[in-house]
Amino acid sequence: MSISIWGGNLFAGDPTLVVSVSGEQRLDVFTIADEGKLKLQTQETLTAKPGTSCYDLTGRHLYVGCSDPECILVLRVEENELTQLQRVLVPAKPSFFAIAPSGDFLISCYYSTGQVTVHRIVGEGRLSDDPVQTLQLDERAHGITIDPSGWFVFVAHTRPNCITQLRMDVRTGQLTPNEPAKLVRAGIVGPRHLWFHPTENFVYGSNEQGKSVSVYRLDSQSGTLSELQTLSSVPDDFEGPGSTSHIEGHPSGKYVYVANRGHGSIAAFSVDSGSGKLTLMHRAPTGATARSFSLSPDGRFLVASGQRSGRLHCYRIDDEGKLTATDSVDAGRSPWWVSFSPVEGVGNDFVAEAQAQTPRRRLTLGQGTMAGEVSDSSVLLQTRLTAGTTLDSKGDLPGSPGVAAFEWSLRNDFADAVRTPLQVASPDRDFIVRASVTGLTPDTKYNYRALFGETNDQLKSGPTCSFRTLPGEQGARPVKFIIGSCMNYIKFMHGRAGKASGPLTATDEDKRLGFPSFVSMKEMEPEFFVGTGDIVYYDNPFRVAETVEELRRCWHEQFRFPRMIEFFRDVPAYWSKDDHDFRFNDSDPQSKKEPSAATGIELFQEQLPIVSVDDPSPRTYRTIRVSRDLQIWLTEGRDYRSANRSPDGPEKTMWGREQREWLKSTLAGSDAKWKLLISPTPMVGPDDGYKSDNHANLKGFRHEADAFFQWVKDAQLENLFLICGDRHWQYHSIHPSGINEFSCGALNDENSRMGVAPGAKFGSDPHGLVRQPFTSAEPSGGFLQVIAGDTLGVTFFDDRAKELYRVSFP
């Protein structure tokens, strides 16, 4: 592709670079003509002294580490200028930056304090105001780099002469020490900067005090380095003061370059394709104190900054990797750093060869790990193996073949872990792996994690997750949980173009991280979550899904949101489906329209941990005995229903005879104080008068609902409460028989709307028989919290955790 900035085209012979001119508090933007001449395009004055810099993966945002004050500046790359977006204060002047391969995090190291910070990259390239993590390491943390998988981070320390080895949680950005935590170098070499080979497990490092370059082998499973070779970067007879500074390799992986300060040269090495070892080709003279240099992404040019000479030097790289000087220009006082704008698809032979050898996106858990159907003694664990963590050009998160298992433990260090058998992640199951764990202790917190790899001898550990088993029938303590519904991805991401009905409040940061409700819900620390239908939407006019591939994509695009992954990491869930995550709006099993009913049923059970994989007769209506005081019923409203257009009467059913009889039998047999029937659709409402899709609709399934309410009265069933999804507004309504119903509303603002009041002529309760103590005052996303113990408390929240209404029952 080509990107036009500064009025020119990056690929039309004009690679673009930014130079940090520290002594003049300025960024200079240059382009390089085909003959290797540097041309100054623009200068941007800053309010701090710039140092290290790097672009994000898109090339549309630039991060600059500064001093006076110590901060990171975020700048947007525009056609003719750099526009400052943000200033983030940091502990000291950053010495080096690294972008996670996912594009989600900026990692910085600090020479003067020996620290590392991790900032999340949010909307518009902005950084989180506060770091995800600040880590104290050894002094003189000079360079930092990340392996291509994003799992392993390395920090080079010129003193105490070591490389710190860290593991990174690709979802949260948290860094933890690897084992061993350091590679300590023999002799005084002073590791400074590191560079990863683009296609092989080799790492190359400059050694400041040693005036040398080292080759390391990366163990891609353990994430640790071992030294292969160290050789001088200056001539054997050089006796003057000096040190190496930066190291960088050619995009083809065939050549490595190291800057020699004092000697005043760039040393060029060839790389042996088999061993990874280096052979000196030549040294090209440069100005005094070449602190930084960088290679153009097409591999044609190298540009070095002379910190003390105040000059910028340009070299052409020939077909054998050797350097020929082409230009030298004045760059002002103390040019500190050089960064080229990232580009793709240049058509250069070097790059084409490297791209041809580049492996596919690295195996990871791009949708996190989740637990479902937790009971007092069992749970279902699930993950999906993916190729990377970001959406591809089709808007999908591709799956990836491999193997996976789960291990669980009462201990945080998994010292007493129990492991499930390895399973193959195959395309026929959408690369999803699910395991049933039994024999657990009631009311107990368990830690668990996925173990996964391409083969069974290449297993990695996923992030640590947790769940708590239910107290069960003997457990007398209160239980807190949350119910949510109707999370519409397309409306959230595309607003009015996606037919959003509610206020458009999703920021760019929200669209990167996911629905704000999941932040609010996580802070409330629920013991579990109930998703009561319309978990994804197959049928938004913006994008209608009909094939299996299209249906699966709806799940992938949504469940890769970091906020959802973080929430379900520690909150187990129960799931029910409704129309939009079954087939289409108001769908029943009878119509011939795609997707078919069979496909809708199969996909829902495939994508969420509801039933065991080996269950020969999976059933999605069930009851859960949560505690002594609480029992929950989850009904299935799509699989067994009559055609919506059928005339209402004794034969018309949403539940089907078998489920209806099961429901009445289990309700009658329960001794729980609080009985909660959680349905994807309403039974009380009111709802829109024109609809024929649910129990509350006049043209729908009202006969079955009336018969059920009469049965509850005749059976003298006490403390039965209804909770529903489906309706995109929140309400508390009371049926004429006295049964309370709570609608949790839509989870995101963009999918919300105003409700239908009792007595409304256009509604399902035109005579005003339903009482309604609460309904949404304005369109708003949100959710419902329930606390059940000696009393039952129900609280409505909006998606930002603002309390809207609370009611309790003795």
CATH code of 29's domain: 2.130.10.10
Average pLDDT of span 436-463: 93
CATH number, domain containing residue 458: 2.60.40.380
Q: Among residues 327, 289, 293, 291, which one has the least CA distance to residue 308?
A: 289
Band of pLDDT at residue 347, cut at 50, 70 and 90: very low
Q: Is the pLDDT higher at 139 or at 12? A: 139
Residues 108, 166 within the same domain:
yes
- Residue 70, pLDDT score: 96
52 within a domain of the structure (yes/no): no
pLDDT at 350: 41
- Provide mean pLDDT across the span 268-296: 93
Query: Sign of the CA dihedral 136, 138, 140, 142?
Result: negative
Count the domains in the chain: 4
User: Is the distance from CB of 749 to CB of 780 less than 8 angstroms?
Assistant: yes
Final residue of a domain: which of 471, 492, 517?
471
- Asked if the structure places residue 59 within a domain, the reply is no
Question: Is-contact 460 453, C-beta < 8 A?
Answer: yes
Summarize pLDDT for 571-609 with one digit per residue, the tens: 999 999 999 999 999 999 999 999 999 999 999 999 999
> Are residues 555 and 486 both part of a single domain?
yes
- Pairing mode, if any, of strands 630-634 and 674-679? parallel
DSSP assignment of 628-641 equals SSEEEEE---STTP
583/699 same-domain check: yes
For 809, residues 6+ apart whose C-beta sits below 8 A from its C-beta are 719, 791, 792, 793
* Per-residue pLDDT band at 343 (split at 50, 70, 90): low
Mean pLDDT (whole number) for 215-227: 94
Closest CA relative to residue 406, chosen from 372, 431, 383: 383
Cis preceding linkage at 595, omega within 30: yes
We report the CATH number of the domain holding residue 688 as 3.60.21.70
Quick one: pLDDT band at residue 5, thresholds 50, 70, 90? very low
**Rounded alpha-carbon distances, angstroms, from residue 570 to 369, 435, 464, 524, 745:** 9, 17, 9, 12, 23
434 and 535, same domain (yes or no): no
Dihedrals phi, psi of 589, to nearest 5 degrees: -75, -5
Q: Confirm if 512 and 777 have CB atoms less than 8 A apart.
A: no
DSSP 237-303: T--SS-EEEEEEE-TTSSEEEEEEETTTEEEEEEE-TTT--EEEEEEEE--S-EEEEEE-TTSSEEE
Of residues 767, 688, 697, 769, the one with CA closest to residue 729: 688
Q: SS3 for 660?
A: helix
Report the pLDDT value the prediction gives residue 614, as an integer from 0 to 100: 86
Residue 436 shares a structural domain with residue 505: no
As a whole number of angstroms, the distance between CA 785 and CA 693 comes to 26
Nearest to 50 by CA among 10, 79, 82: 82
Residue 235, in any domain of the structure:
no
Same domain, 268 and 316: yes
Task: Report the pLDDT value the prediction gives residue 361, as an integer from 0 to 100.
Answer: 54
pLDDT above 50 (res 417): yes
pTM: 0.65
- Domain membership of residue 231 (yes or no) is no
Do residues 487 and 454 both lie within one domain? no
Domain final residue, candidates 471, 500, 534:
471
Tokens 């709307």 sit at which residue?
753
Partner residues linked to 232 by β-bridges:
212
Let me know whether 453 and 503 are in one domain.
Answer: no
Over the stretch 672-718, which tens digit does the pLDDT of each residue have? 999 999 999 999 999 999 999 999 999 999 999 999 999 999 999 99
d(CA 722, CA 482): 14
Task: Identify whether 688 is part of a domain.
Answer: yes
Residue with the bigger pLDDT between 638 and 220: it is: 638
Range of the domain at 151: 90-219
Q: Contact, 288 vs 275, CB < 8 A? A: no
Residue 660 lies in a domain: yes
C-alpha pair distances (Å), 127 with each of 49, 124, 492, 508, 513: 20, 9, 22, 12, 13
- At residue 750, the 3 state secondary structure works out as helix
Any domain includes 245: no
- Name which residue leads in pLDDT, 14 or 232: 232
Residue 566: pLDDT band (50, 70, 90) is very high
232 found inside a domain: no
Regarding whether 429 and 535 lie in a shared domain, the answer is: no
Which residue, 358, 380, 399, sits at the end of a domain? 358
The answer to whether 328 and 284 have CB atoms below 8 angstroms apart is no
Residue 57 has a pLDDT of 82
* CA 593 to the chain's CA centroid: 34
Same domain, 351 and 368: no
Report the half-sphere exposure of 227 (CA within 13 A, side-chain side).
Answer: 17
| Residue 313 shares a structural domain with residue 281 | yes
Q: Which two tokens stand for residue 701?
A: 């399934």
Domain match, 461 and 500 both: no
Q: Which two tokens stand for residue 454?
A: 């391409």
